[in-house]
Chains A and B, each alone.
Chain A
Amino acid sequence: MNDESIWSWETAWDVLPALLRGLVVTIEATVVGMVIASILGLLIALAMRAPTRWVRGPLRFIVDFIRMTPLLVQLVFVYLLSPPEIPALVIGFVVLGIHYATYMSEVYRAGIEAVPQGQWEAATALNLPKARTWRAIILPQAIRNTLPGLGNYAVSMFKETPFLFAISVVEMYTEAQSYGANTFSYIEPLTMVGLLFLIVSYPTSLLVRRMEIRLA
């Protein structure tokens, strides 16, 4: 068997700068997407506690709809419907953010419900207004409960950023693909994409696990 046809260190070295550029975009998308998902997810979780069904019902439908359809389809769909002035990267941020917000809302819901009933009762006994109870007592404890979930979804969003390829955002996977298309060497770039994902997500997931243990 011929060595160089399977793996060339030269090619690997050659593609690395492009991949690292792509990695920056990938991380950017994850961070911005996660910021959107954390804020929107919390708002959804709070709105789901609205006393009226006219808020909860439609919201439940939208959330389920987003969760039950593939991210890839959502990306392409929004991309095609959006006016061309909007950069693909921005569409990527927003769609990733909204998609994950529907999952994050579940994490927040669980986090809020995990705050013991006694905390609400103590707040009532002290006559604290509802808004203050949420802000000073319930949310700080609930958000602490959601940190591991947030971390897990960040890792999972990070791994799903290659879907941005479909709307021609030049992130890491897109860089690998275009390098392959130009040079006909796919093995090195794609292997390295996999490794780079692993290098970032594995330590992150270990960190999340440690956080889980510490908060438990």
Chain B
Amino acid sequence: MTTSTSSTGDVPAIEFKDVVKRFGDNVVLDKLNFSVAQGDRVTLIGPSGSGKTTILRLLMTLEEANGGLILIDGDPYTHEYKGQKWVEIPEKRRRVVRNRVGMVFQQFNLFPNMTVIENIIEAPIHVLGKSKAEAVARGEELLEQVGMSEKRDFKTNQLSGGQQQRVAIARALAMDPEILLLDEVTSALDPEIVADVLGVLREIAETTDITMLLVTHEMQFAREVSNRVLMFDQGQIVEEADPETMFTNPTHARTKEFLKAVLG
């Protein structure tokens, strides 16, 4: 599969050009090309080790690519070509682009030394330069939205997993990201709590135009929220379709096999 720029935007929100990622001898992504249009909701599916999470981690600069380009709104993010030479972009310039990207993690990763509200206002104050009052006002609004207002002043270890994840979502949204990366955000949660978190995400998908890239095992959720599904295997996109087609009528053998395994 090669580049597939979609209908709406002129410049894609995310574009991978020949991205290579290796861990030691293990090639996870081998010249991967794909793009995500502004406002798209794209779900990455595929067996574990197929490189889905690596894509999110590259987009958050938690991993370094070994080759190729990652563009955000057309801007080079981590590397660029100077003449023929592939060079790293210094942290100072990366920061400008990174501000447009937010991420929610499987393990929540809230800061346990802070209260709920402190978790949320930390970056708006120290990265976006908002005043404390402004950050708190927005933070409270977001807590309301994720149904966590009463826990405003709790320490994060007093919260259940589902509650922590809802705070983590509010924390990511407080940075007003253009792109939100969701890395198996329900995988660490008890089944009965998954619905709460998915409900929150569904609402965000409906009420904002944030570009979303999600890795999930919740196929029903992928179906409801995303407008495009990419099936990965061994670091390559083997199939790409709208969710309806992908889940009901997949064409590729690997996709059929995978969906049969996860959907039962």
Q: Which residues of A are in contact with B by a Cβ distance under 8 Å?
A: 116, 118-119, 121-122, 124-129, 132, 136-137, 140-141, 144
A125 and B126 contact, Cβ closer than 8 Å, known pairs A118-B109, A141-B112, A144-B113: no
Whether A125 lies near B112 (C-beta < 8 A) is no
Whether B105 lies near A132 (C-beta < 8 A) is no
CB distance from B113 to the nearest CB of A (A): 4
Q: How many A-B contacts at CB < 8 Å in the complex?
A: 56
Whether A121 lies near B62 (C-beta < 8 A) is yes
CB distance from B83 to the nearest CB of A (A): 27
Whether A122 lies near B98 (C-beta < 8 A) is no
Whether A118 lies near B105 (C-beta < 8 A) is yes
Contact of B113 among A121, A132, A137 (CB under 8 A): A137
Question: Does B148 touch A at the CB level, under 8 Å?
Answer: no
CB neighbours (8 Å) of A125 from chain B are 60, 62, 101-103, 105, 172
A-B pairs with beta carbons under 8 Å apart, 26 shown = A116-B109, A119-B111, A121-B60, A121-B62, A121-B109, A122-B105, A122-B109, A122-B110, A122-B111, A125-B60, A125-B103, A125-B105, A125-B172, A126-B127, A127-B95, A127-B98, A127-B99, A128-B123, A128-B126, A128-B127, A129-B95, A136-B111, A136-B126, A137-B111, A141-B112, A144-B113
CA distance in complex: A118, B111 (Å) = 9
Q: Is the interface of B mostly helix, strand, loop or mixed?
A: loop
A136 and B122 contact, Cβ closer than 8 Å, known pairs A125-B172, A126-B171: yes
CB neighbours (8 Å) of A132 from chain B are 126
The residue on B at minimum CB distance from A131 is B126
Contact of A140 among B61, B107, B113, B172 (CB under 8 A): B113
CA distance in complex: A136, B118 (Å) = 11
CB neighbours (8 Å) of B175 from chain A are 126-127
0/1 per residue, B8-42, Cβ < 8 Å to A? 00000000000000000000000000000000000
CA distance in complex: A128, B171 (Å) = 13
CA distance in complex: A204, B103 (Å) = 44
Given A136-B114, A137-B113, 18 further pairs, Cβ under 8 A: A118-B105, A118-B107, A119-B111, A121-B109, A122-B105, A122-B111, A124-B60, A124-B62, A125-B101, A126-B171, A126-B172, A128-B123, A128-B126, A129-B126, A132-B126, A137-B111, A141-B112, A141-B113
Q: Is the interface of A mostly helix, strand, loop or mixed?
A: helix
CB neighbours (8 Å) of B95 from chain A are 127, 129
CB distance from B181 to the nearest CB of A (A): 8
How many chain B residues touch A (Cβ–Cβ < 8 Å)?
Answer: 24
Indicate the member of A119, A127, A141 with the most B CB atoms within 10 Å: A127
Give the residues from 70 to 96 in chain B that come closer than 8 angstroms, CB to CB, to chain A: 95
Indicate the member of A118, A121, A124 with the most B CB atoms within 10 Å: A121
CB neighbours (8 Å) of B127 from chain A are 126-129
CB distance from A169 to the nearest CB of B (A): 39
CB neighbours (8 Å) of A124 from chain B are 60-62, 98
Whether B122 lies near A126 (C-beta < 8 A) is yes
CB neighbours (8 Å) of A141 from chain B are 112-113
CB neighbours (8 Å) of A122 from chain B are 105, 109-111
CB neighbours (8 Å) of A144 from chain B are 113
A128 and B122 contact, Cβ closer than 8 Å, known pairs A118-B105, A121-B60, A121-B105: yes
